[in-house]
Amino acid sequence: MKSKLHLRRGLMATSLLLLFGASAHAAVELPAPADLPPVAAADAALDAYPGVLAAQSRVAAARAEGRRLSAGEYEYQARAGYTRRRESGIGGMNDWSMGIERGLRLPGKSRLDAEAGATLAAQAEERVGDARHEAARELIAAWYAALRGQSAAQAWREQAALLRQQHEVVAKRIKAGDAAKMEQSQAEAAVLQAEAEARRAEAAAAEAAASLSARFPGLPLPGLPRPGLPAPALKDGPPLALTGGANEWVNVALEHNHELAILRKETERMRIMARRHQSDLTPDPTLGLHFSRERDGQDNLLGVSLALPLPGEGRRARADVATEEARALAHMEVAAKARIVGEIQLTHTRLQGALSRLQSLKDMSLQLNGYAELAWRAYQLGETSLWEALNARKSAQDARREAMLSRLDAHETAARLLLDSHQLWPFERDHDSAH
């Protein structure tokens, strides 16, 4: 009867957990930005990242340490001895002895050692996920830095090309006698300024692309072809729509946070070690079997030995150290959780602001672009000066470039929020479910 009751309670708890987990995910929604790197390329780049490879190697080391703990520190020890005996009136005689002995772990200690080893291995596996997460953060930052560089360079190239076209129109008007020669100097200066800005932006874009390529060599550069890999297009994608408040996003992010999981595993391990050191207050015995032959074989002795250490204050101190370390780790977990909650809330707030600012910049860009077109037509009709037309075009291009960079800022913030919530890439969820 009790077993059925426990089963029902377990099923009810599981159902509630699944229900609230599903509702938490349903309450938050944010499409992934369309200008992210290809999923397969990002997965391969993270797999090859040195920090991730180091964390994977430490998993094997942790498992080996677990085997060592399970096996225990005691080994068989062989002893042998020889004595030359000399007695008056008898002469010299030979005595020799041999034996074998081994320490024995008391019941319960081997189980605690195995638990500590398993926790250590689980912690190492969480560190792999944490290393991938930190590498993904670096990847996103470097990727969008390269995107911003290329977008700025592209915008300046477009502005320079448009100003060159306008310069040709000005030259034709001067030949026709419809414009003063001074306007040609103004148009040429605008072209030269735009070309200089384009070259500066291209240099900055090359630096950002080189940084991305150096840190993630297998990742195709945004908008640039790589041998054997397609070049991802610079896509705007659909407008981002953020659903869910900051608290809902915090709940989702905390479900699979590797940093907190690592601290929990370490706290659990230290509590196990505290119990293990506490059990050492009852010391393990050393059992031995001995055989000796004395007086040239006249006496043959077979015996057993039992050695028991006399525990001192050092054993109790080891247990106290582990207990206090576990308490310290519990406090560190609370502090880390508060920091992570603050980071998610800040990212959520930044994304809201970035999306709002992006929409305002888009509206402003449309207005200024329309005004620039009207100003240029007015100049061609002789209704306004070239200076006013060029200023209108410059303002429109500046607004367009700012809107483009603001879009990338919003996309990077959205990618960061999705990454910290483990919803950015499918392989993140697969990796989490494997642990």
Is the Cβ–Cβ distance between 160 and 195 less than 8 Å? yes
Domain 32-76+108-282+314-433 coded CATH 1.20.1600.10: yes
Residue range 203-250, pLDDT digits in tens: 999 999 999 999 999 888 876 544 444 444 445 556 788 888 899 999
Residue range 66-100, pLDDT digits in tens: 999 998 889 999 999 888 887 776 777 888 899 99
H-type alpha helices, 82-233: 109-175, 182-215
**Hey, how many other C-beta atoms are within 10 angstroms of the C-beta on 30?**
20
Residue range 141-192, pLDDT digits in tens: 999 999 999 888 988 888 888 888 777 777 776 776 666 667 777 878 888 9
pLDDT at 139 over 90: yes
Question: DSSP 3-state assignment of 385?
Answer: coil
Output DSSP code: residue 381: T
Predicted local distance difference test score (pLDDT) of residue 58? 94
Give every CB contact of residue 240 below 8 A, 6+ residues apart in sequence: 30, 31, 33, 355, 410, 411, 414
Angle at 272 between CA 271 and CA 273, to 5 degrees: 90
pLDDT at 11 over 70: no
Predicted local distance difference test score (pLDDT) of residue 86? 78
Task: Tell the residue number behind the tokens 């229900």, with chain if given.
Answer: 19
**Hey, how many other C-beta atoms are within 10 angstroms of the C-beta on 353?**
13
Predicted local distance difference test score (pLDDT) of residue 227? 41
Residue range 316-367, pLDDT digits in tens: 899 899 999 999 999 999 999 999 999 999 999 999 999 999 888 888 988 8
Output DSSP code: residue 77: E
pLDDT at 1 over 60: no
Angle of the 313-380 helix axis to the 258-279 helix axis, nearest 10 = 180
State how far the Cα of 408 lies from the Cα of 144, in Å rounded to an integer.
Answer: 7
Sheet with strand 77-87: strands edge to edge: 77-87, 91-103, 286-294, 299-307
